Structures are given as structure tokens and as C-alpha cells.
Structure 1
Amino acid sequence: MMINRHLLPLVVGITLYLLVFPATVQLGLGQTTVGFYRYSCPNAEAIVSDVVRFFYQNDRTIAPGLLRMHFHDCFVRGCDGSVLIDGSSSEKTAVPNLTLRGFEVIDDAKKELESICPGVVSCSDILALAARDSVYLTGGPRWNVPTGRRDGFVSSASDVNLPSFTDSVDEQKRKFADVGLNARDLVALLGGHTIGTAQCQTFSYRLYNFSPDGGPDPTINPDYLETLRNLCPLGGDGTKRVMLDDGSEFDFDRSYYYNLKKGKGLLESDQKLWTEDRTTSNRVSSYTGLLSDLLGGLLGGGFEDDFIDGMVKMGNIGVNTGDSGEIRRVCWQFND
């Protein structure tokens, strides 16, 4: 069902914040450009923001869901909306994508856009914009998203090879490097785990029989270990969800990095950023030190700027532009 709302206040708001953005953000990468729909569909970004806000007001967990979906889309065949496609063997059916959520947000935004600007705004752009709006609604920064992506023609579960919660830092670095992202991007983008939750089954193996002597992962803070064991008892419900960032599930902030330093990284791959690699641990330290406080508060820089840069870079992985790809009429199926 279409959501009928007055868009004028949002158009004004979008116009105002487009005038103010961090100097580190590039206005265009490749053939994507900030303001791509300025003339072809002037209200496009306002409509997406409005739809995301509507769903968020009813369910705050939709924000990390949309951010995660954008990440999963871009790391497989590039940011082409392939993760949105339905089908018996599409990317949606791959194990890492079975818990993705927020598809109804993208579909609703697409319906509204098609009613106003048919055949103009791609599903992959809607997803990129929705991820940005989700970060902002949870208290994070907002930035200009280069747009002009077109949707891809292929979606296959066999292509899905995402970074895993058991990966070493070297493996995480390799997977990020494969799509043109560096170690700084890795640490900054994993900061997106400051919002959202993870199922017990993604980390409970660390709590009971992890180390060679049969004990828990020794890098887990003892008090945090007790908390997690109470939340995820041995043999309990593996689908139960726990905050990725202890004490800060709904707030986009830097507490994720402080928790890593305390041994309170929920996922093994997250905690390894602090315990396994000097390059990544130094970056974690840079996001939690006094200099970062001063830079972030007075001069710009630090985690938020690195996160923005990483999101813009990630959002331009393998994009279809120009005559490549298509503009889907609905986001869950290819055009005829």
C-alpha cells in the first residue's frame, strides 16, 4: 500500500542539509554524482528519507537492517541491487542473507517514486540512500550520497562470499581489498556495528568450548562473558538477538570501539580488530583517544569522517552507470 504524506517539509530539509557536508566527501566517484536526480526526479531523496523515517518511527531496528543490506549488496557483484531480487537461487537465499530485513522499506520507496517519476530512480540508489538515512536517524552523520547507479541483471546465491564473523583480520583485509577498500575502511565500516544486534548462534561458540582447554574465548571480558552466557545459555535458542554494541543498540556512536578495548566485542571478527592486528588496533585507538575527541568535535575528522569516506567508497563498488544495467520497475524482480 502506498504511504500518503506531505513531502514539502522534507524537501526543504533535504535542500538545507545538502548545503552542509564534510569537506572530505567527494562529489562524484566514477559516473555517480551527488544530485543525479536533481532534474529528473527532484524529490527522490526526500521521498526515500520520508519512507525510511516512517518505518523507523514504528520499528527502530529497521535502521541497522537497511545499513547491513547495503553492505551485503555492495560486496557481491557491486552495488547493483542484486540482493533485493526474489528467486529460488538468488542472493537472498544465501545463508548470510537469510536474516536480512528492511526489504519492505525499499519496495515502498520504489512504489512512491514510480508513481511520481516512473522508470527514473534505481533500486540500488534507493538502498544507498536508505542506508545513509538510517545512520542519520540513529544519531550518526549524514552525507551526500553520489547517485546514478543502475540495477544489475544477475543475482545468484553462489556469488555470495561476504566477510564472516569468524574471519581473521588478514582474511577481512583481503575481502575488503578485493573490492577496493583498505584497512582504514575496514575498521571504520565495522563501526556500523554500533547499532543493531546479532543472533546467539553467531557468537555463542566463543562462550563455552572455544579454547584448546575447553574454555571460552580468552579475549572476552569476564563480566561480559557471564552476561552473554545468561543471554545465550548452552543449548538455548540460537536465534535470540543480542546487542552488537553493549549498551548502545540504537545510538550511532563510538562506544563500539571502546567496547573492543574492554574485551566486549560481540563477534569474534570484531574483537580481533583489537587483539590480532597492530594496524587495526591502532585505528581503534585513534577512534577512542583524546585527539579523536578534539578532531571530531572541533575540526572534523576521526571516526565519523572515515565512516563517511568508507560508505561513499563502498557505495561505488562495481556500479552500473550510463547504459549499463537497468532501472527496475519493482525492486524484487528483473524487468521483462
Structure 2
Amino acid sequence: MASKFASYGQNYTSLLHLFLLLSSVLTSSSDLSFNFYAGSCPVAEFLVRNTVRTAFSSDPTIPGKLLRLLFHDCFVQGCDASVLIQGNNTERSDPGNTSLGGFSVIERAKNAVEIFCPATVSCADIVVLAARDAVEASGGPVVEIPTGRRDGRVSVAADVRPNIIDTDFSLDKMIESFSSKGLSIQDLVVLSGAHTIGDSHCNAFDGRFKRDSKGNFELIDASLDNSYAETLMNKCSSSTSLTVSNDPETSSRFDNQYYKNLEERKGLFQTDSALMEDNRTRKIVEDLASDEESFFERWRESFVKLSMVGVKVGEDGEIRRSCSSVN
């Protein structure tokens, strides 16, 4: 009985902490709120969740794609769905975004919502909700998300490269990038846990290897486990356009295995390995590797903070009729 009360107390404290965090965030973005669509479109979140789960049932790579789509949206122009806009010189056309996926899922969710609630639910909210639901569908934590974001009207390819994280960034460059979005070092380590699901093309990490005179790969990154490196080199030897799982152990499940992989020097990207090689982040990695519930609790907090980066409200944006173009 005592252990049950102790567990209840810990959960209560975590929920209280999350509530206080969200309260402070929402104070500065008063037009966002929980159940924002309760009166105008009460089926909105159900429709998005159902669309994500249906897509996931036929394509297990969808959760990773939706989660990556959110990161690439929020880090450029804020969480305003500007990455969805099609056209020449838009964010979506930039080489840094050409490997993104999940667009069709967002469009299907938007189409479903438009049938019941035309011109009411923003694409920006749908992108955030879809990423949230993708994590939950993969076995991750349930996250309550404030909604009410407006869609951006500007999408410029030149804004992409200065804002997204490249897979060969140093820890200092990652910290600088996250800090510019109002995210902490802890947020950086926790949100990197998104790599517990999803796939990546070989050319995203081939800088960790070099070709010898016979055209075979050789490992040049000492931070990578030799046997894991051998597996990657064999997989990618024929073509750098092939894909591998971000997490070699539990690739389709959102869990804390990513951090266990880092402890075993099996981080796919240089940016992953960097987290284990620096005193500023190593202890956080070790804590998350040893306690999945702690990872889930911190994920809830960091994910909400990510979803609030550069949000547009009121007259700052619009509600797009189609997510791929401005009104």
C-alpha cells in the first residue's frame, strides 16, 4: 500500500510540474488553450488521431515521418505549417527537406476536418497533433497539447538551412540552435529521443565512413561501435539512398532504447554520439537510459515546449483551406 501511495505522489508531482510549466507558457500565448476546438470543432482531435492510426496500420514508418515533419516545421518560422506549402523556393522545396514524409497524412486529416468544420482548424495544429498521436500510437506517452495555432503565410527555402540541425553538428552548435528556439540542453537530449523511431537515408551519416581505394567503406569515427559500424557499412555499401532504422533494437516502438544505444556507442548520427561524449549531456542520457518513465515525463514537457516555438495566433496567421498553399 505504501508503495502505491508513493507512486501516486510521484505522479501527482509530475502532473503538477507539467501544469505549472504549461500555465507559464500559455500566459505568453493567451490565444492558445486546451480544448481550443471544444465548441467550434469538437471532433478535430479525434479525426486527426484516427487518420494517424489508420496510416500507421498500413505503413509503420509513418510515426517517424510525422515526428520529423514537426521538427522541421517548428525550427523554421515556428510551428506554423509553413513546411507544408508547395511551390518554387518554399521550405518544402529546399534540399534539406526533400526527404521529409508524412505530408499525405496531414492532408488526409485536414480534408476530414474540413468536412465537419470548414475553415476552423489550422494545419499548424494538425501537424502538432499528428506528431503527438504518432508517438502515442508507437507506444509512447499521451501528451496534452494546447491548440489554437494559426497557419503562416510565408515559406522561404533560404530560411531552412540556417535553422535545421545537420547530422554532423557539434554539441555546441546544437545547443546554440536549440537555445535560439527557447529550448534548453535538457530539451535537446530529451527531444533527440525522437530517434527511437523512424528511418534515415545512408547519406545522412556516411560522413562517419570513407571509401578505400577499392570503393569499400572504412570507419573513421571512433565514437561508433565497431560491430554496429560494420552493419551500417554493409547496409549502405551499394547505395547511400538506402535507409536504415534510427534505432537498431526497437525501431518501431517509442521507448528509451535510444539512450541505451548511446551508452553502447550505437548512435546513428554524429549528433547522437555527441550527447554521450560531453559532460553537459552524458548524465541526462544515462538517467533516461535507466528510467523509461522519467523519459516519458520529460518528453511531455519538452514536446509541449517544442510545439510552442514561434507560434502564430490571432491576426499573425490564417486558417488555410489547403495545407499545401496559402489562402
The answer for the alignment partner of 2:152 in structure 1 is: 152
SS of match in other structure, 2:124 = helix
Gaps of 5+ in 2: 1-13, 213-217
Q: 1:248 aligns with which of 247, 250, 258?
A: 250
Q: Counterparts of 2:148 and 2:316 in 1: how far apart (Å)? A: 11
Is 1:280 the counterpart of 2:272? The answer is no
- Match among 292, 295, 300 for residue 308 of structure 1: 300
Q: Structure 1 residue 118 and structure 2 residue 110: aligned?
A: no
1:317 maps to a residue whose letter is: V
Distance in 2 of aligned mates of 1:227 and 1:62: 24
For residues 154-208 of structure 1, what are the alpha-carbon distances to aligned partners after superposition, in whole Å with 9 as ceiling and x for unaligned?
Answer: 0001001201100000000000000100100000001000001111111122133
Letter of the structure 1 residue corresponding to residue 73 of structure 2: D
Rounded Cα–Cα distance in structure 1 between residues aligned with 2:100 and 2:300? 22
CA distance in 1 between counterparts of 2:274 and 2:52 reads 33
Aligned mates of 1:108, 1:186 — CA distance in 2: 31
Q: Which residue of structure 2 lines up, in the alignment, with residue 205 of structure 1?
A: 207
- How far apart in 1 are the matches of 2:219 and 2:55? 42
**2:8 is matched with which residue?**
none
Instruction: Tell me the residue number matched to 1:44.
Output: 44
- C-alpha deviations, 1:252-272, integer Å up to 9, x for none? 011100111111001011111
Per the alignment, residue 11 of structure 2 pairs with: none
Q: Distance in 1 between matches of 2:325 and 2:125?
A: 16
Q: 2:197 aligns with which of 195, 198, 201?
A: 195
Alignment pair present for 1:319 and 2:311: yes
Output the CA distance in 2 between the equivalents of 1:66 and 1:215. 31
Residues in 2 aligned to 1:215 and 1:133: alpha-carbon distance in whole angstroms: 37
Instruction: Provide Cα deviations, 1:223-255, integer angstroms capped at 9, x if missing partner.
Output: 11111111112xx21110011111211010111
SS of 1:320's equivalent?
A: coil
Structure 1 residues 7-156: aligned runs within 5 Å: 22-23=15-16, 24-25=18-19, 26=22, 29=26, 30-31=29-30, 32-156=32-156
> For the residues of structure 2 that align with 1:113 and 1:96, how far apart are their CA atoms?
30
Residue number in structure 1 paired with 2:10 = none
1:83, 1:92 within 8 Å by CA — same for their partners in 2? yes
CA contact (8 A) 1:86 1:333 kept: yes
After superposition, the Cα gap between the structure-2 partners of 1:328 and 1:215, relative to the gap in structure 1 and judged at 3 Å, is closer
**Share of identical aligned residues, percent?**
41
Q: Secondary structure of the residue that 2:209 maps to in structure 1?
A: helix
Letter matched to residue 217 of structure 1: D
Residue aligning to 1:258: 260
Q: Could you say which residue in structure 1 is the equivalent of 2:227?
A: 223
Identify which of 156, 166, 181 aligns with 1:179. 181
4+ long deviations beyond 4 Å:
none
Work out the CA distance in 2 between the residues paired with 1:116 and 1:95: 36
Matches of 1:226 and 1:97 in 2, distance apart?
A: 28
Aligned-residue CA RMSD in angstroms?
Answer: 1.5
- Is the partner of 2:166 in helix, strand or coil? coil
| Matched position secondary structure for 1:306 | helix
Provide closer, same or farther for how the CA distance between residues 232 and 148 of structure 1 changes in structure 2, counting only shifts above 3 A. Answer: same
- Whether the 8 Å contact between 2:205 and 2:268 is mirrored in structure 1 is yes
Paired residue total: 300
TM-score, length basis structure 2: 0.89
Tell me, in whole angstroms, the C-alpha distance in 2 between the residues paired with 1:287 and 1:136: 18
CA distance in structure 2 between the aligned counterparts of 1:215 and 1:94, rounded to whole angstroms? 30
Q: Give the counterpart letter for 2:119 in structure 1.
A: G
Give the AA of the match of 1:97.
Answer: N
User: What is the aligned partner in structure 2 of residue 162 from structure 1?
Assistant: 164
Counterparts of 1:203 and 1:209, CA distance in 2: 14
Between the aligned partners of 1:209 and 1:100, the Cα distance in structure 2 is: 27
Q: Secondary structure at the match of 1:323?
A: helix
The residue identity in structure 1 corresponding to 2:156 is S
Per the TM alignment, residue 45 of structure 1 is displaced from its structure 2 partner at its CA by 0.2
